[in-house]
Amino acid sequence: LHEHELTYSVIVSEEHPEMPKTVTEAYRVISEGILKGFHHLGLDAYFAVPKTAEQREALKSPRSAVCFDAPSWYELVVEGRKVAGSAQTRQKGVILQHGSIL
């Protein structure tokens, strides 16, 4: 399933001064590093951000369990295709964000 991907993990304290308190904003901050990496490679990557209420509602009910089926908030897209996806968990004051890059 993840044979031709690069995986990553970031571990940071929830108390880090540059880490937002909300999951979505912390996800954005961590993912900005990956976005900058894509830009350094010369790729026109951007964050997926739903613009309409319909798009936001669709994120609550994904079409499938396949990670790269469709982008979610702040996931990376190149040429209309999701190229990186991540998940985040918080336990005992620590944030773990793990993801895959195609």
Catalytic residues: 67
Rounded Cα gap, residues 4 and 13, in angstroms: 30
Rounded Cα gap, residues 99 and 15, in angstroms: 22
Residue 11: partners with Cβ closer than 8 Å, 6 or more residues away: 94, 95, 96
